[in-house]
Amino acid sequence: MSNLPDLLRDLVIANRILAREDVVDYLGHISIRHPERPDRFFLSCSRSPALVALDDIMEFDLDCNPIDQRGRSMYFERPIHGAIYQARPDVQSVAHNHAYEVLPFAIAYNVKLRPVVHPACNIGLEVPVWDIRKKFGDTNLLVTTMEHGRDLAATLGKSKAALMRNHGCVIATSSLREAVLNAVYLKVNARLQAEAMRLGDEISYLTPGELEKTAELVNSPNSLQRAWEYWARRAGADKL
């Protein structure tokens, strides 16, 4: 496992990658659980991911209270992160975004988002959709309380991704590199699935057996490192 300074630098790079790959714009965020204190996590202060630097990274407890705020403003939607870390001890990294390619599946949500290419195998057989309105009625759609976050985490269940109705999506994984991979490929898969659906009704999805076999390959350390190096370089990480 990386030591803490390396991990925090990787979190900065992950922010830059998600911006470079158009997974996030001025909104969206990614966090990591503290490697030595599972009751805490790290997330940037309220800044656009493309601009996040090391000094912006803040530490929170799992109720999303800052440990050392130092006057920095905070993301309203940090309960997405705290609630998932509370519900899922296996999760080490959480990402949230409003990628435009993913959003149609959170709007026409009777059409399921399902894996159509192998790097997207981690999204599971179909991506669950969380509807904030079911429990909370009319809201501003944002996950601003721990109650919202816990309800989202319940819909996420054991999955590595969930859609949020008319809002965006969340990724929950066992490592930062995997979170970046899944966030990028949830978006790519959504674009390809939507394009295939425009060509015809008979869509070929990956089978459960194919998901299992491709996951072994895609989640191998060598494969994750190769993807990470590629995206990090594109995001200018060598100049950070």
Cite the active site residues: 77
Cβ–Cβ under 8 Å, residues 101 and 25: no
At a CB cut-off of 8 Å and minimum separation 6, what does 198 contact?
none
x-or-dash string of contact with Zn ion, 30-59, rule CB under 5 A: ------------------------------
- Residue span binding Zn ion (CB under 5 A) among the ranges 130-138, 168-176, 184-192, 207-215: 168-176
- Residue span binding Zn ion (CB under 5 A) among the ranges 56-64, 161-169, 171-179, 180-188: 161-169
Whose Cβ is closer to Zn ion: residue 79's or residue 168's? 168
Whose Cβ is closer to Zn ion: residue 58's or residue 143's? 143
User: CB 46 → Zn ion: shortest distance, Å?
Assistant: 12
User: Among residues 163, 31, 125, which one has the least CA distance to residue 84?
Assistant: 31
User: CB 143 → Zn ion: shortest distance, Å?
Assistant: 7
Residues at the site binding Zn ion, with contacts judged by CB under 5 A: 168
